[in-house]
Structure 1
Amino acid sequence: MSWKYLLENQFDENELQQYFIICKDDEIIELKQNGADILVNNQNKQEFVDLCIQYYSEKMISKQLGQIQTALYKYIPKDYLNIFTAEEFEMILYGVSVVDLAEWKQHTTYKTPYADTSQQIQWFWKILSEFDQDQLKKFLHYCTGSYRIPVNGFSKLESNRGMYSKFQIVPIDYKNTNSFPIAHTCFNRLELPKYTSEEMMRKYLRSIVLNDLEGVFGME
């Protein structure tokens, strides 16, 4: 009998024949004191379900959780963890989910002959400014391999070697066919063809975010 069925239905006295226990590996585990002597009924079934959930989500894996905590505290002292909310700690672990295009542009470098004044570079940032957040995240992932940025921003992007590696745009020759930008995600580097028109560049950049092109074009 599922917990959902138990909670949503009414039962006659002694019909359930379920006590406040769980049987695991031929062992009887009491969910509360004297649980082996307490029958589940309509009045206490919610408590029974709550205790079952608590057991399976906490007590059953308490040893494993303890080992994880011990390992975590070796790198981040417990007192430091208590400073952060769950949302703040998630941000530290996984990075920032909102892509700030102005900051991205500010911390981008260019390989000669590209510069921030180059026509193709101006087209590039203009086109990205037309993207919504989901599209920016997809393009960021195409370029860096991650949908998020470090908590300290684009200035702290890292290479696959763990070294700071700012996003860089490198010029390559434009080809008439299959001239997608080539992303080297290990180094946060994008090889951007020297497109001859803004519309041509827009076509290829939008194709990256509107279609599932990962592993088909460009990413290395």
Structure 2
Amino acid sequence: SLQFILAKPPFPDELGIGNFVCTKKDPAGKETVVELKENGKEIPISDSNKHEFCDLFFRAQFVKNTQDQTASLTEGFLSLLPKETVGVLDADELELLICGNAVIDIEDWKANTCYGEPFNANHPVIQAFWYLVKQMSNADREKFLQFCTGSKKVPAEGFKGLRAANNKVSKFKVNPRVSGNDSLGYIMAHTCFNTIELPMYSNFGTMKKNLYEVLKSPENF
């Protein structure tokens, strides 16, 4: 490895641990030997030139040999985020734009939620629901958000930026679940529409038990 060569104690030129060459794979997987500099096959790596070898090897393997792949990746990336936009963002801002916000703000979530009748923000079942979500750790909130929307991250602009499967803005919605035993059943999610069906629980303990059951495997529940 390059680290081995650089860390190796001084060694004489005639010891011989290789020459100024590297291998390159074509798309079919066939390997060819490439000289890192003119007459590289005839130049042994020595203590006096090992830094030059490592620099040329790194450039060949991670710059020249990946130019086509890097160009394709860059083209695809810039088709989503224009170059003029990326150019004004720092690393943290770019991560937020791509990955979303990792911290889930309950008040923002509540403020951007709508309800199906008879639910409303003051309904006892809804009050109990938000109380339980607020008691969750951020990690558990991420799991629950994934269960509800298919993603564990909040859009960069907050919950007002939630989008449905058709890429249109679609607020989080809580509908009453009216099928089956609507006071004992599990919560159902429609991730394409950022919507859940919440049973009309009459018992707080049952709601808590069923809500936390979802967190065990939100992607498969």
TM-score (norm 2): 0.84
Q: CA RMSD in A?
A: 2.5
User: 2:78 & 2:174 partners in 1: Cα distance?
Assistant: 40
Q: Which residue of 1 aligns with 2:15?
A: 15
User: 1:171 & 1:160 partners in 2: Cα distance?
Assistant: 22
Shift of 1:134: 0.5
Q: Which residue of 1 aligns with 2:114?
A: 109
1:132 aligns with 2:137: yes
Shift of 1:200: 1.4
One-letter amino acid of the counterpart of residue 186, structure 1: C
Point out 4+ residue stretches in structure 1 off by more than 6 angstroms: none
TM-score (norm 1): 0.84
User: 1:75 & 1:33 partners in 2: Cα distance?
Assistant: 41
User: 1:88 & 1:37 partners in 2: Cα distance?
Assistant: 49
User: 2:181 & 2:3 partners in 1: Cα distance?
Assistant: 61
1:162 aligns with 2:171: no
Q: 1:192 to 1:74 in 2, by over 3 A?
A: closer
Q: Which runs of 5+ in 1 are unaligned?
A: none
Shift of 1:42: 3.7
- Give CA-to-partner distance per residue, 1:42-78, whole Å, 9 cap, x none: 4543553444333322221112212332344455432
One-letter amino acid of the counterpart of residue 52, structure 1: F
- After the TM superposition, which of the residue ranges 113-122 and 87-96 deviates more from structure 2? 87-96
One-letter amino acid of the counterpart of residue 34, structure 2: I
Aligned residue-pair number: 213
Residue of structure 2 aligned with 1:146, choices 143, 151, 157: 151
Residue of structure 1 aligned with 2:198, choices 192, 195, 209: 192
Q: 1:50 to 1:140 in 2, by over 3 A?
A: farther
1:81 aligns with 2:86: yes
Shift of 1:33: 6.1
> How high is the sequence identity, in percent, across the aligned residues?
30
One-letter amino acid of the counterpart of residue 205, structure 1: L
One-letter amino acid of the counterpart of residue 22, structure 1: C
User: 1:129 & 1:72 partners in 2: Cα distance?
Assistant: 36
1:96 aligns with 2:101: yes
User: 1:179 & 1:49 partners in 2: Cα distance?
Assistant: 63
